[in-house]
């Protein structure tokens, strides 16, 4: 082995091993942070990126901190971190749509609408995403909706069909009137529950109220006062319970309609990841 | 000259490798220190850092065990079991395999996945390699039975080979205090309210008895007066309602009282028992 080769080997190998040894060097901290981030251990990844940023300026690390906060649903810190992304950064455009997502999740309505409109008017590459998120949020939170065709324009054809159905549900929710349910049950016991599609309870209420009324009547007719009053009390209990139960049943029915509507739209938004871009940080 | 150079090169490489190994040892010591200080979040971070740079998996077993213990200390039982399983995979001898499995079983006991714990412990028990560890395995089987609310069976296990007489006595006393759920339920079938009296719920027992006597009287009276349909309806909707309610109530009281007794015992075990706990 010549001296040249020997020195060459030492020169090449020493820095390689040297780098491996200092596991707290900025480069290794970043490597470890990236590993934690891709392992979905976001809280620890954030700590490591923060350590790394104390010595190195890196807007990707900054962005990952913000994204980490967003992914663990700490929207307040996510907003703070995304807002610190400089507009000269390559990730600035993405950060704006992420801010919009965080605002949407933290229910900051006025700031959300302001930023959404800014993004839509700015003609950025994510204008359409902002428009989609805005429209879905309007559908979820507002009572007044724009025209259906105009509303569906930014969406892809599959989503148009689904959101078209939600739009119709928002305009004409299939609610049941509590008053109607109560009055129906007051006239014909159980009919209010049948109106609210609670068929089993409706039929039971009808049969039991009818039965106790009949038994009370026939006992009084045959001068069995005590049993007559007992059946009256039972019948009255079932009758009152049936009217009250029908109103409650209508309330439950309407709550289910609202729940299914909101849950369906939230699942849609989660499925679309709030129209934020996909990242290749962990490839 | 070539020979000398080769030697120097090997020495340099070995020295650098040792330096790297020393760094990992230092990192392990640091993480271990954090663990001993009870700083479990930081300890996990530092053990994970160690694993990330430990390309030859020198510290794989120890770090996985200690990460698992840290998660266990923070009641993150799912994560703890994941790391104990990784420790089991990276175990280098029977002792390490045994220890990782025992920790997995203990975490399963705390997670209340007791059948999983039972399966792990029984597998170790039938393994001839761990014949000498039989007492330790049985000790944890006893604890598993405690968490399954099988106090009598647990006391028997703790008595075997005098494993732990304190625990055995405690289990016997808990079992003695327990109410028989079946007795409470079925005695109420015979005399309504009896099960409630048995569990010390006298007012409830008296009310149950009164309602049943009243509804029974109305039913019998209807039949006596030839009001058969009235009798059937009264029996069905009044008497049966109070009768079945009375038995369900007695059963509920017995279960509730037993839960109070076992919770009190578990509370004692958690805070005052000095021996080893899951």
- A236-257: average pLDDT: 95
Question: Does B23 sit within 8 Å of A22, measured CB to CB?
Answer: yes
Report the C-alpha gap between A112 and A14 in whole angstroms: 54
CB proximity A215 to B under 8 Å: yes
Contact in structure between A78 and A106 (CB atoms under 8 Å): no
Over residues A254-275, the pLDDT tens digits come to 999 999 999 999 999 999 999 9
CB proximity B116 to A under 8 Å: no
* SS3 of chain B: helix, strand, coil, percent, to 5: 85, 0, 15
CB proximity B227 to A under 8 Å: yes
> Domain for residue A194, yes or no?
yes
Report the C-alpha gap between A204 and A210 in whole angstroms: 10
Over residues A40-91, the pLDDT tens digits come to 999 999 999 999 999 999 999 999 999 999 999 999 999 999 999 988 899 9
Report the C-alpha gap between A204 and B159 in whole angstroms: 57
- Convert A226-259 to b/e letters by CB count within 10 Å (16 or more is b): ebbebbbebbeebbebbbebbbbbbeebbeeeee
Task: Work out the minimum CA distance from B211 to partner chain A, whole angstroms.
Answer: 13
Question: Does B6 sit within 8 Å of A227, measured CB to CB?
Answer: no
Over residues B120-157, the pLDDT tens digits come to 999 999 999 999 999 999 999 999 999 999 999 999 99
If you count them, how many residues does chain A have? 283
B116, B119, B122, B127 alpha-carbon torsion, rounded to 10°: -120
Contact in structure between B121 and B135 (CB atoms under 8 Å): no
According to DSSP, residue B255 is labeled: H
Report the C-alpha gap between A8 and A111 in whole angstroms: 60
More confident residue, A23 or B252: B252
Question: Does A234 sit within 8 Å of B9, measured CB to CB?
Answer: no
- Cβ pairs A/B, distance under 8 A: 69
Two tokens, residue B74: 């923070």
Q: Is the pLDDT of residue A173 over 70?
A: yes
If you count them, how many residues does chain B have? 278
Instruction: List, in order, residues 6 or more apart from A163 with CB less than 8 Å away.
Output: A135, A136, A139, A151, A152, A155, A268
Two tokens, residue A186: 């007051």
According to DSSP, residue B200 is labeled: T
A133 φψ region: left (φ > 0), alpha (ψ -120 to 50), beta (else): alpha
Q: Is the pLDDT of residue A139 over 50?
A: yes
Q: CA B202, B206, B209: angle at the middle one, nearest 5?
A: 135
Report the C-alpha gap between A225 and A216 in whole angstroms: 9
Task: Work out the minimum CA distance from A16 to partner chain B, whole angstroms.
Answer: 10
**C-alpha distance across the termini of chain B, in Å:** 63
Minimum CA–CA partner of A6 in chain B:
B5
According to DSSP, residue B62 is labeled: H
Q: Is the pLDDT of residue B1 over 60?
A: no
Mean pLDDT of chain A: 90
> Domain for residue A280, yes or no?
no
CB proximity B241 to A under 8 Å: no
> Domain for residue A188, yes or no?
yes
Mean pLDDT of chain B: 91
Q: For A219, which of B16, B230, B237 is closest by C-beta distance?
A: B230
Note down the domain range covering A196: 178-267
The fraction of chain A above a pLDDT of 70, given in percent, is 93
> Domain for residue A158, yes or no?
no
Report the C-alpha gap between B189 and B183 in whole angstroms: 10
Chosen for mutation from B3, B10, B11, B12 (greatest number of chain A CBs closer than 10 Å) is: B12
Residue B148, class by beta-carbon neighbours within 10 Å (0-12 exposed, 13-18 middle, 19+ buried)? Answer: middle
Task: Work out the minimum CA distance from B84 to partner chain A, whole angstroms.
Answer: 18
Q: Is the pLDDT of residue A18 over 60?
A: no
- Convert A155-187 to b/e letters by CB count within 10 Å (16 or more is b): beeebbeebeebbebbeeeeebebebbbbbbee
Report the C-alpha gap between B52 and A28 in whole angstroms: 10
Task: Work out the minimum CA distance from A19 to partner chain B, whole angstroms.
Answer: 10
More confident residue, B13 or B56: B56
Contact in structure between A201 and A245 (CB atoms under 8 Å): yes
Q: What is the 3-state secondary structure (H, E, C) of chain A?
A: CCHHHHHHHHHHHHHHHHHHHCCCCHHHHHHHHHHHHHCCCHHHHHHHHHHHHCCCCCHHHHHHHHHHHHHCCCHHHHHHHHHCCCCCCCCHHHHHHHHHHHHHHCCCHHHHHHHHHHHHHHCCCCHHHHHHHHHHHHHHHCCCCCCHHHHHCCCCHHHHHHHHHHHHHHHCCCCCCHHHHHHHHHHCCCHHHHHCCCHHHHHHHHHHHHHHHHHHHHHHHCCCHHHHHHHHHHHHHHHHHHHHHHHHHHHHHHHHHHHHHHHHHHHHHHHCHHHCCCCCCCC
Report the C-alpha gap between A49 and A251 in whole angstroms: 50
Instruction: List, in order, residues 6 or more apart from A228 with CB less than 8 Å away.
Output: A216, A219, A220
Question: Does B44 sit within 8 Å of A44, measured CB to CB?
Answer: yes
> Domain for residue A72, yes or no?
no
> Domain for residue A256, yes or no?
yes
CB proximity A207 to B under 8 Å: no
Question: Number of structural domains, chain A?
Answer: 1
> Domain for residue A257, yes or no?
yes
Report the C-alpha gap between B42 and A44 in whole angstroms: 9
Over residues B214-233, the pLDDT tens digits come to 999 999 999 998 889 999 99
Confidence of residue B7 (pLDDT cuts 50, 70, 90): low
Q: For B218, which of A21, A32, A230 is closest by C-beta distance?
A: A230
Report the C-alpha gap between B221 and B233 in whole angstroms: 13
Minimum CA–CA partner of B52 in chain A:
A32
Chosen for mutation from A21, A25, A204 (greatest number of chain B CBs closer than 10 Å) is: A21
Instruction: List, in order, residues 6 or more apart from A250 with CB less than 8 Å away.
Output: A176, A177, A178, A180, A181, A182, A192, A195, A196
What is the pLDDT, as a whole number, of residue A229? 93
More confident residue, B17 or B82: B82
> Domain for residue A154, yes or no?
no
Q: CA B274, B75, B103: angle at the middle one, nearest 5?
A: 65
């Amino acid at each position: 082995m010549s001296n040249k080769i020997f020195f060459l080997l030492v020169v090449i190998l020493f820095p390689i091993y040297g780098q491996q040894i200092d596991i707290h060097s900025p480069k290794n901290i970043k490597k470890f942070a990236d590993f934690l981030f891709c392992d979905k251990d976001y809280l620890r990844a954030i700590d490591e990126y923060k350590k790394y940023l104390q010595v190195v300026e890196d807007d990707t690390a900054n962005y990952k901190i913000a994204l980490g906060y967003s992914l663990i649903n700490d929207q307040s810190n996510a907003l703070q971190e995304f807002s610190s992304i400089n507009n000269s950064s390559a990730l600035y455009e993405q950060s704006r749509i992420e801010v919009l997502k965080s605002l949407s999740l933290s229910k900051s309505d006025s700031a959300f609408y302001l930023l959404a409109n800014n993004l839509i008017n700015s003609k950025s590459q994510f204008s359409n995403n902002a428009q989609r998120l805005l429209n879905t949020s309007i559908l979820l939170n507002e009572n007044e909706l724009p025209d259906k065709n105009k509303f569906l324009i930014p969406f892809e054809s599959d989503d148009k069909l689904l959101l078209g159905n939600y739009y119709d549900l928002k305009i004409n929710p299939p609610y049941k009137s509590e008053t109607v349910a109560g009055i129906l049950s007051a006239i014909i016991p159980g009919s209010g529950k049948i109106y609210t599609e609670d068929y089993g309870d409706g039929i039971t209420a009808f049969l039991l109220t009818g039965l106790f009324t009949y038994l009370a009547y026939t006992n009084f007719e045959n001068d069995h006062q005590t049993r007559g009053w007992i059946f009256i009390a039972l019948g009255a209990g079932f009758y009152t319970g049936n009217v009250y139960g029908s109103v409650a049943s209508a309330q439950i029915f309407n709550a289910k309609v609202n729940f299914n509507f909101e849950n369906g739209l939230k699942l849609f938004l989660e499925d679309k990841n709030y129209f934020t871009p996909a990242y290749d940080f962990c490839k | 000259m070539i020979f000398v150079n080769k030697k120097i090169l090997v020495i340099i490489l070995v020295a650098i490798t040792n330096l790297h190994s020393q760094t990992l040892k230092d990192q392990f010591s640091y993480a271990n220190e954090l663990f001993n200080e009870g700083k479990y979040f930081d300890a996990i971070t530092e053990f994970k850092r160690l694993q990330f740079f430990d390309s030859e998996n020198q510290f794989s077993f120890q770090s996985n065990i200690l990460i698992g213990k840290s998660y266990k200390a923070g009641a993150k039982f799912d994560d703890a079991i994941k790391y104990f399983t990784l420790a089991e995979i990276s175990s280098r001898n029977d002792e390490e395999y045994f220890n990782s499995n025992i920790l997995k079983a203990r975490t399963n006991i705390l997670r209340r996945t007791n059948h999983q714990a039972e399966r792990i412990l029984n597998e170790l028990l039938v393994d001839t390699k761990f014949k000498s560890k039989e007492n330790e395995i049985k000790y944890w089987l006893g604890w598993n039975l405690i968490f399954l609310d099988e106090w009598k069976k647990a006391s028997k296990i703790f008595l075997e080979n005098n494993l732990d007489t304190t625990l055995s006595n405690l289990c016997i006393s808990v079992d003695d205090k327990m109410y028989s759920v079946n007795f409470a339920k079925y005695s109420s079938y015979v005399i309504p309210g009896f099960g409630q009296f048995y569990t010390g719920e006298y007012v409830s027992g008296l009310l149950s008895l009164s309602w049943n006597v009243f509804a029974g009287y109305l039913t019998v009276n209807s039949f006596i007066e030839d009001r058969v349909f009235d009798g059937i309806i009264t029996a069905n909707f009044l008497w049966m309602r109070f009768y079945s309610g009375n038995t369900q109530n007695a059963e509920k009281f017995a279960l509730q009282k037993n839960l109070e007794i076992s919770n009190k015992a578990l509370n004692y075990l958690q805070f005052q028992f000095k021996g080893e706990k899951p």
